[in-house]
Chain A
């Protein structure tokens, strides 16, 4: 898949957005500016952006608790996302979703989910809409290695298989379900499970390579768009932070050598080197890109910090489309 220089630089831009957004959010959790916690995608940016940029802007997407990277990768504006993390009135969900439940319908993001595996059937339904309404859209369902052991995934893969729904099931295998090594709770290879449904299942062994992820997902998305049905793409990656910010575990559940090996392969650094080596951009241009994204994230943080908190009555709105029903409920 030949990508233009603009597309390649846009990949780097989106990976940087995720990195800097999440690093900023991490600081804000520590400072008590973000209530609750967040789960960062630091270290997994190539896996997220490679997938998001392999589908169209109007394609559907569902996600999980590691939730900021997906909408950012799909093209969301950063300010309303950051404001949502802070529970502000200007948040993308008006302060009612928070980090775990981001959604930005304007970019096809139908919602992240705090319940592991729970959003996967939603993606199958969006793909059914696309098919019956002849919308030519694909649904990209992100889930982790933990969700690969939820039954709903296999119900969704079976349904998408028999109905030839345009779904790309994307397993972000960061190798740990919180502290539990995936290998100890997962029988066989996740990608191979697709074969039982007679749909393609591929594994991207180097999920730190944004182009490798992109190519695999692009093939799956193209296939789905041609009406040939769903695919499963498993991407091997690693999270650089703890499961969630502020979480301190007494056991060191990840092997030091393993961690060092993965940390040495920062997807953003790797792609920067590649862009330089391929002559896509000069170092100065990439530095400028980084500075630009840093400013953008800083502006988003400022917007979020300066935004007002929601009025209390907002808690009582939007349960139903029909306000008279909500009045009865309240």
Chain B
């Protein structure tokens, strides 16, 4: 075990996978210089652990700023024997390759009757809450949840980032990894050895009795902080982190809600047709009888992301807004809680 950051854990998973299998290659913008810190030790080109030094230019490739061909070529390479990891840097840039994601990556195996498999990982980082403005702050995973054929991971801790990414690279299906930049610096003890966290298995981040909070990506630490505060008010909160959005661990969510009878979903994505909407619909369909209160969603409103910190900060789920929602489904106001 050693202390690892979220970003360091991603780099560690990539390093392991590159060492384990020569078919694994990484391409993307600025990966040779390790600009985003996942293709090297993070110090300099001479530093031990620099991927370009370790693996050479065949396997670590800078690309032009051409998302459409990056994604399409990765699909073609995956269909013919390579196992590419594509670093798309910002999640907001995925839209430039939408045709390739939706019409090629997601459909080729299915529409060719199973002749193709696409072992490829598309990594991108969600730079929200950092005053990067409307063109860099997107959390677009729900759009891709709506495209059958893609698998989607959204790790919230360093340990999960390492284990999920490794499983994603091992998967013979295309996986999109949405990494939350606000979590990049978070640290914890991480297993140095090789391990994989199977896709589609949720993690219970905190056990509790009264309310289930399903929290996604950057909302997980906020939900945990809310749970801690609510404990002092006598509300016992269970926090479930799905970790994988496709396939979604529906059973784990239902199991928890059947026990607690209450559900709050905290999701940094937009509200309409978001991940929270999907989780809420599943619980309403499959565990309605267990619900003792209406489901509450804490999401980013259907609003574009403004630049000024004074405007931006209020938009995402926070420990305060999550705690308010939990109190709400417990029939308690904040004033009552304070009394």
Instruction: Tell me, yes or no, whether B41 is within 8 Å of chain A by CB.
Output: no
Interface-lining segment among A41-49, A175-183, A236-244, A315-323:
A315-323
Query: How does the 8 Å CB contact mask read for B209-251 relative to A, with 1 for contact and 0 for none?
Result: 0000000000000000000000000000000000000111010
Contact A322 B173 (CB under 8 A): yes
Contact A321 B109 (CB under 8 A): yes
Q: How far is the CB of B279 from chain A (nearest CB, A)?
A: 13
- Taking CB atoms, residues of chain B closer than 8 Å to A317 are 114
Contact A318 B110 (CB under 8 A): yes
Which residue from chain A places its CB closest to the CB of B76 in the assembled complex?
A125
Instruction: Tell me, yes or no, whether A199 is within 8 Å of chain B by CB.
Output: no
Q: How far is the CB of A39 from chain B (nearest CB, A)?
A: 17
Contact B113 A329 (CB under 8 A): no
Name the interface residues of B68-92: CB closer than 8 Å to any CB of A. 68-69, 71-82, 84
Contact A152 B68 (CB under 8 A): yes
Give Cα distance in the complex from A103 to B111, angstroms: 9
- Taking CB atoms, residues of chain A closer than 8 Å to B100 are 118, 121, 152
Which range contains the number of A residues in contact with the other chain?
35 or more
Instruction: Tell me, yes or no, whether A253 is within 8 Å of chain B by CB.
Output: no
Instruction: Tell me, yes or no, whether B186 is within 8 Å of chain A by CB.
Output: no
Contact B110 A329 (CB under 8 A): no
Given contacts A101-B112, A113-B103, A319-B109, contact A126 B151 (CB under 8 A): no
Instruction: Tell me, yes or no, whether B132 is within 8 Å of chain A by CB.
Output: no
Contact B69 A94 (CB under 8 A): no
Contact A120 B111 (CB under 8 A): no
Instruction: Tell me, yes or no, whether A280 is within 8 Å of chain B by CB.
Output: no
Partner of A128, one of B77, B109, B151, B172: B77
Instruction: Tell me, yes or no, whether B116 is within 8 Å of chain A by CB.
Output: yes
Interface-lining segment among A129-137, A255-263, A285-293:
A129-137
Name the interface residues of A289-330: CB closer than 8 Å to any CB of B. 317-322, 324-325, 328-329
Instruction: Tell me, yes or no, whether B34 is within 8 Å of chain A by CB.
Output: no
Name the interface residues of A90-140: CB closer than 8 Å to any CB of B. 91-97, 101, 103-105, 110-111, 113-115, 118-130, 132-133, 135, 139
Give Cα distance in the complex from A124 to B76, angstroms: 7
- Taking CB atoms, residues of chain A closer than 8 Å to B331 are none
- Taking CB atoms, residues of chain B closer than 8 Å to A321 are 109, 117, 171-173
Interface-lining segment among A21-29, A154-162, A227-235:
A154-162
Q: How far is the CB of A170 from chain B (nearest CB, A)?
A: 16
Instruction: Tell me, yes or no, whether A151 is within 8 Å of chain B by CB.
Output: yes
Contact B72 A320 (CB under 8 A): no
- Taking CB atoms, residues of chain A closer than 8 Å to B246 are 325, 328-329
Contact B80 A60 (CB under 8 A): yes
Contact B79 A110 (CB under 8 A): yes
Contact B80 A155 (CB under 8 A): no
Q: How far is the CB of B251 from chain A (nearest CB, A)?
A: 9
Given contacts A126-B76, A159-B73, contact A111 B112 (CB under 8 A): yes
Partner of A121, one of B23, B68, B81, B112: B68
Instruction: Tell me, yes or no, whether B333 is within 8 Å of chain A by CB.
Output: no
Given contacts A103-B112, A124-B73, A328-B250, contact A322 B80 (CB under 8 A): no
Contact B113 A97 (CB under 8 A): yes
Which residue from chain A places its CB closest to the CB of B74 in the assembled complex?
A125
Q: How far is the CB of B302 from chain A (nearest CB, A)?
A: 26
Give Cα distance in the complex from A104 to B74, angstroms: 20
Partner of A92, one of B59, B69, B113: B113
Contact A319 B113 (CB under 8 A): no
Which residue from chain B places its CB closest to the CB of A329 in the assembled complex?
B148
Contact A130 B75 (CB under 8 A): no
Which residue from chain B places its CB closest to the CB of A115 in the assembled complex?
B103
Minimum-distance CB pairs A-B, first 4: A121-B72, A125-B76, A328-B247, A125-B73
Q: List 29 A-B contacts (CB under 8 A).
A: A60-B80, A93-B115, A94-B113, A97-B112, A103-B115, A110-B116, A121-B75, A124-B72, A125-B72, A126-B77, A126-B80, A127-B76, A129-B77, A129-B81, A130-B80, A132-B59, A132-B82, A133-B81, A152-B72, A156-B73, A159-B69, A162-B64, A163-B61, A318-B113, A319-B148, A320-B149, A321-B171, A325-B151, A329-B247
